[in-house]
Structure 1
Amino acid sequence: MNRGRKRPVSKVQSAQPAKATQADKSKSYPVTESIELLPFLIKSISGAGRNVIKSILAHGQVSVNGKSTTAYNMQLQPGDTITVSKERPQEKPPMEGLSIMFEDEHIIVVKKEAGLLSVSSDSGQENEVTAYRQLMAHVRLENAKNRIFIVHRLDRDTSGVMMFAKSEAVQQQLQNSWQDTVQERIYVALVEGAVKKEKGTITSWLKESKTLKMYSSFHANDGLHAVTHYKVLRTSKSFSLLEVQLETGRKNQIRVHMEDIGHPVVGDKKYGARTRIIGRLGLHARVLAFTHPITGKLVRFETDIPKLFLKPFQAPEQS
């Protein structure tokens, strides 16, 4: 992955002069002897001092055979072509509430912070900040035709691991085989009350009300089948920290199922919570493991439990 740099300037052929606009921005130098890069640049670039050349190199303005480098001691060989750009590569803007964990030509895996929308809301403004819009801008810095495609979503107030596709074909492949492709989808949930059963499974059929709130039906086939497994990681008189594994991935599934067992997710007023001890929803997508849609290899991405989720177990409880 080559974040923070635009694509290396292609090699300029001596027999075919580059277009004037390109020539104005870069210049190429043929290598005729075995030499390290920095001495070669000092020798080749007239009128520039050592510190200026080191700065040009440090800012990614030098390419060796079309590949950008900052390695001053790279060993050059006869036949190599060095291209020096007069402009610094375009810096990719910092992302808001988002960091890239993995990227290749087919997918992007990110860690999303609580408070950031995955995609625009129905009533969202045109310039609303979302994971989708930021990643679209990210891939288009390399090529204006690049796009990303939504594979799955996290609620605005849920943090954790998400994946996007970089082509419609990969998106469709992932969505059509989601149940088979995803090997692990593990969350941590900070919930209200002491969960007495060390582990358990919650099964229901989820439906959506006219007010867009999901709820459980316990009548077979009356809605979308949802299965949630949990185990207790920590517990106190007032709170429990659970590891939650999804067997199915329905809208608001964990939030509904936690309310069903009488232990709503902290901060989740919509589904019965009475506390906001950590100032956010107590739900984090910690692990996503899946079969890569192109390579067929199992890939696994894991994040730490947010420190805020441990806060209720560190402070002494009020009697």
Structure 2
Amino acid sequence: MIKTNRPPKKHQPKGLPILHEDKDIIVVVKPAGLLTVGTDREKSRTAHYLLNDYVRKGNPKSHKRVYVVHRLDKDTSGILVFAKSEQTKKLLQENWANTEKHYLAIVHGQLMEKEGTISSYLVENKAQKVYSTRDPTQGKLSHTAYKVSKESKNFSLVDIHLLTGRKHQIRVHFAEKGHPVAGDKKYETKNVGSKRLALHARSISFPHPSTHKLMTFDTGMPDDLIRLFRQL
């Protein structure tokens, strides 16, 4: 059994629900609109900052900290895993290619193929926008498996198995297929269809870095995405 040692409730991060915590890892659910890590403009309103404050139990002199294992875009909600040591971070990242990651997305239109895999070489330009290229020497080969679970007249709810984890991968692949994610202001300019990006990191599965036991976390479909799909 994995022991947990949580600081008092008053120090738990507001708006950042903890799914699991032990001596090695913390698994949380990041809301849409919250950065994973700081930027030049925003340093404190991030999941990383909030969890550092949490493990320090409100003591700014504490040397305890959390380490970023992976990231989610600011406007993407869902599961994030943080490590409590550099060694644990390294172990998780070394095995990250074998970590199973599933997302939910509401995309524009009805897909002709209800199930499949989108593959392309992705590259980022100087404006920090990602796009597909035919040149394998410039881009990184990326695979996004998907299956349509529900459809309305103008939108589709899609279950996504992220086979590789490139920046903006899901958003770019569906936008280039003609079915951008609802609410994506970066890759869909005509009609975003939603105030929030309709993309959620639903589940993750990986072996625990210490016990090697398979750890699986699944949030299901968030209430706000259920309401959004009904509205759309």
User: Counterpart of 1:77?
Assistant: none
**Matched residue pairs, number?**
227
User: 1:230-268, CA deviations, whole angstroms, 9 ceiling, x for partnerless residues?
Assistant: 000111221011001111100110011011110001111
Distance 1:109 1:205 in 2: 30
User: Counterpart of 1:117?
Assistant: 35
Which of 198, 208, 214 lines up with 1:282 in the alignment?
A: 198
Distance 2:12 2:65 in 1: 19
The yes-or-no answer on 1:173 pairing with 2:176 is no
Match runs of 1:87-236 below 5 Å: 92-121=10-39, 123-126=40-43, 128-141=44-57, 144-180=62-98, 182=99, 184-236=100-152
4+ runs deviating over 6 angstroms: none
The yes-or-no answer on 1:262 pairing with 2:178 is yes
Distance 1:174 1:314 in 2: 37
Contact 2:7–2:54 (Cα < 8 Å) also in 1: no
Which of 202, 210, 214 lines up with 1:294 in the alignment?
A: 210
Contact 1:268–1:281 (Cα < 8 Å) also in 2: yes
Larger Rg: 1
Q: TM-score, normalised by structure 2?
A: 0.91
User: Counterpart of 2:6?
Assistant: 3
Distance 2:225 2:112 in 1: 19
Contact 1:277–1:312 (Cα < 8 Å) also in 2: no
Pairwise CA distance, 1:96 = 3.4
User: Counterpart of 2:164?
Assistant: 248
User: Counterpart of 1:36?
Assistant: none
Contact 1:266–1:274 (Cα < 8 Å) also in 2: no
Q: Which has the higher contact order (CA 8 A, sep 6+)?
A: 2
Greater Cα shift, 142-151 or 223-232 = 142-151
Contact 2:7–2:55 (Cα < 8 Å) also in 1: no
Contact 1:266–1:273 (Cα < 8 Å) also in 2: no
Matched to 2:6, the amino acid is: R
Contact 1:205–1:216 (Cα < 8 Å) also in 2: yes
Gaps of 5+ in 2: none
User: 1:37-80, CA deviations, whole angstroms, 9 ceiling, x for partnerless residues?
Assistant: xxxxxxxxxxxxxxxxxxxxxxxxxxxxxxxxxxxxxxxxxxxx
Pairwise CA distance, 1:285 = 0.1
Q: TM-score, normalised by structure 1?
A: 0.67
Contact 1:97–1:116 (Cα < 8 Å) also in 2: no
CA, structure 1 residues 291+273, in 2 after alignment: closer, same or farther (shift >3 Å)? farther
Distance 2:89 2:210 in 1: 11
Give me the identity figure in percent.
45
Contact 2:203–2:217 (Cα < 8 Å) also in 1: yes
